Amino acid sequence: MITLTLKEQPRVPLEAEAISPDVMAKLRHDEIRAVPMFLGKRQRRLDDFFEVEGEASEDLEIRGDVGKVKWIGRGMTRGRIRVAGNAGMHLGAYMKGGTIDVSGNAADWVGGEMSGGLIRIGGNAGGQVGAAYRGSLTGMQGGTILIEGSAGLEVGMRMKRGIIAVKGSVRDFPGLQMKGGTIILGGAELRTGAWMIRGTILSLRPIPLLPTFAYNCNYNPSFLRLYAKHLQIQGFSIPHEEGDGAYLLYSGDAAVSQKGEILIWQPRASS
């Protein structure tokens, strides 16, 4: 295992795409220390910012508040990163495989345009979780993002595949221009699923809906049993038993298509 301990918070964000198992797996201790990273426009070394222990491993642990360290695990394909503290923007962006665990909060763009792997955030996440970068037509294309707390704007914007599950509530525009995949929310603010073409958004609490979503029926989709089983292992529970209640299915967004679905959990009224 390689342990990186932050010496002190950088004053401007540190570009740390080199903190990835793919980069570190074959490096010796002194090579890891010399890995280049940009602080603003200046090129510096990893050991200017971190104490380094260990070498040549796909298992990384980062200690300290790296809330200003960007691009951790960018494009990683394997291995594991654990962050004991907060993580900065673009955590696991373009990730293809492996696991990232963050015990604290994560900033914006967690798993931006990722295509595989698992990201778990113990606290809250910022906006644009699993989203498409500006201008791109497609966001997240696979993998799983699990958030224990809340999240910000545009969660899953233009996502095409994969799962994003947020226990808490999210802000406006979850699933904006979504093309596929599944977003599970503990509630949301405004304009959920705006311009969604396909895909599923599931809310465990009532949410305000756009007028372009039409009520369809009450049902308990069978695929949810599978999802529930899968997410249960990760500590996320989704209600799906008929005895407990049903989902109200709304179809939309009629502004672009009727193929997207928003499911809102309605517990059975206790008698």
For other proteins, the binding residues (CB under 8 A) are 41, 133-137
CA separation, residue 185 to residues 78, 182, 202, 264 (Å): 28, 10, 6, 10
Q: Are 201 and 175 in contact (CB under 8 A)?
A: yes
CA separation, residue 236 to residues 29, 56, 185 (Å): 38, 34, 11
- The residue assigned the tokens 């517990």 is 267
Is 135 or 211 the residue whose CB approaches other proteins more closely?
Answer: 135
Q: Are 16 and 45 in contact (CB under 8 A)?
A: no
**Distance in Å, CB of 43 to other proteins, minimum:** 10
Is 226 or 254 the residue whose CB approaches other proteins more closely?
Answer: 254
State the virtual CA torsion across 128, 129, 132, 138 in degrees, nearest 10: -140
Distance between alpha carbon 7 and the CA centroid of its chain, in Å? 27
**Distance in Å, CB of 12 to other proteins, minimum:** 17
**Distance in Å, CB of 136 to other proteins, minimum:** 4
Is 136 or 232 the residue whose CB approaches other proteins more closely?
Answer: 136
**CA Rg value for the chain:** 20
**Distance in Å, CB of 164 to other proteins, minimum:** 21
Is 137 or 233 the residue whose CB approaches other proteins more closely?
Answer: 137
Is 133 or 220 the residue whose CB approaches other proteins more closely?
Answer: 133
Tokens of 207: 């949410």
**Distance in Å, CB of 112 to other proteins, minimum:** 11
